[in-house]
Chain A
Amino acid sequence: MSDYIIGLLMGFISIVIVNNLVFTKFLGTCPYLGVSGRLDMAFGMGMAVTFVITLAGVLTWLIDHMILIPNNLIIVQYICYILVIAGAVQLVEMYLRKFFPSLYESFGIFLPLITTNCAILGLCIFLFVWNVNNFAEAAVLSFGAGIGFTLAICIMAGIREQLKFSDVPKSLEGAPITLITAGLLTLAFMGFAGMIK
């Protein structure tokens, strides 16, 4: 039993740090570059994505293993995934509009665009590709992927807040310097590579 829990914990750490979706798989790069201007917004975005990714990961895993695989319907897999994700995002949108209107305003267009966050669809596909055939593992990996995304986007936002005070060459301002910073960050995270399978 304790082996099982340690295995889950290892899976969690692995997807948060070693196999972080943003740093190693380039997933979720759009919001990672787009919404990382301010730390509080980045954190809010990270939390929203974590919620959606956990919900979507668990639901798509269940749909895969209860409906699609037994009935040999893998062909409609992507369409099912995107429907689940869009539904989950709609839920978050309604919740935020009701309880956190100011946060809802500041997200603007980026909130519905969580639907098109590749980290979420990417994770659902990876759960299938990696042959995760255990419900608890799927749930832990989904949650970990969300935390990993939050970690990445918050580090980036912290750096970008400092970057405002530095003297960046004119033509590198904005997106280019953000990309170069992201490159250096992945270099740092590469140090963890191979620590856990």
Chain B
Amino acid sequence: MSSNAMTVKDVVKAGLWTEIPVLRLILGMCPTLAVTTAVKPALTMGLSVMFVLICSNIMVSLIRNLLKPHLRILMFTLTIATFVTIADMFLKAFMPKMSEALGPYVPLIIVNCIIIARAEACASKCGILVSAVDAICMGIGFTVVLCILASIREVLATGTILGIMVMPKSFVPLAAMQMPVGAFITLGLILGLVNFLTAKKA
């Protein structure tokens, strides 16, 4: 990612596989672990993050020539905070139940390291088109990982996916999967699996 001239093709590949958020870069852990008790909140969170990521990447890319180096992190967080406020108000107005379920984790998107990392690594160096594509791909990558983690946890904890029963009647739910323990251990094992597959391929 150090090369200055990133192309659209590079960022698509990075966002969707080689640098897929959470799995490759251990960033953005709090929301990943906290909202993945079920698929629905995970999907909402993923889409909110994607919205903020796209807006902030475009905005940072627009002001990239005006940024002072020592103030840039502050500028990034302020830009992100503005868009998160918008997303938070949208959720409160149109999806009040979901907003309540996600609770403080919506404002916590402000400090999601993925968004700041993309502003720093991509948007502050590239043009608007590349930054926007980068944001979309990273957002999709993040959402997909959240949904995978959430479906594993939801199936094992309640036997359902998106509220639909998928397991046989004799299935005994594992309540621990809904607790912090389940989140940490499932993510640890998924990371291990990804490492294993990558090592096998090489």
Chains A and B are bound partners = yes
The answer on a CB contact under 8 Å between A122 and B78 is: no
Question: For the complex, is B163 an interface residue (Cβ under 8 Å from A)?
Answer: no
The answer on a CB contact under 8 Å between B184 and A86 is: no
> Interface segment, B9-17, B125-133, B138-146, B189-197?
B189-197
The answer on a CB contact under 8 Å between B181 and A179 is: no
Residue count of chain A within 8 Å CB distance of chain B: 47
Please indicate the chain B residues that have their CB under 8 angstroms from the CB of A112 in the complex.
73
A-B residue pairs, 7 tightest by C-beta? A183-B184, A179-B188, A171-B196, A183-B185, A29-B29, A176-B192, A180-B188
Among A78, A169, A171, A176, which residue has its beta carbon within 8 angstroms of that of B84? A78
Question: For the complex, is B6 an interface residue (Cβ under 8 Å from A)?
Answer: no
Distance A78 CA – B116 CA, assembled complex (angstroms): 16
> Could you name 12 residue pairs across A and B whose Cβ atoms are closer than 8 Å?
A28-B30, A33-B26, A122-B30, A122-B108, A175-B191, A176-B192, A179-B187, A179-B191, A180-B188, A183-B184, A190-B180, A190-B181
Question: For the complex, is A150 an interface residue (Cβ under 8 Å from B)?
Answer: no
Q: Which residues of A (82-140) have their CB < 8 Å from a CB of B?
A: 82-83, 86, 112-113, 115-118, 120-122, 125-126, 129
Please indicate the chain A residues that have their CB under 8 angstroms from the CB of B116 in the complex.
116
Residues of B within 8 A of A (CB): 26-30, 33-34, 73-74, 77-78, 81-82, 84-85, 88-89, 103-104, 107-108, 110-113, 116, 176, 179-185, 187-189, 191-193, 195-196, 199
The answer on a CB contact under 8 Å between A121 and B110 is: yes
Distance A120 CA – B108 CA, assembled complex (angstroms): 10
Nearest Cβ in chain B — how far from A174, in angstroms? Answer: 8
Q: Which of A75, A121, A179, A184 gathers most chain B CB within 10 Å?
A: A179
> Interface segment, A19-27, A43-51, A158-166?
A19-27
Task: Select from chain B the residue with minimum beta-carbon distance to A172.
Answer: B192
Distance A182 CA – B107 CA, assembled complex (angstroms): 24
Nearest Cβ in chain B — how far from A29, in angstroms? Answer: 4
The answer on a CB contact under 8 Å between B195 and A176 is: yes
Distance A51 CA – B89 CA, assembled complex (angstroms): 31
Distance A197 CA – B88 CA, assembled complex (angstroms): 28
Question: For the complex, is A177 an interface residue (Cβ under 8 Å from B)?
Answer: yes
Among B107, B111, B188, which residue has its beta carbon within 8 angstroms of that of A176? B188
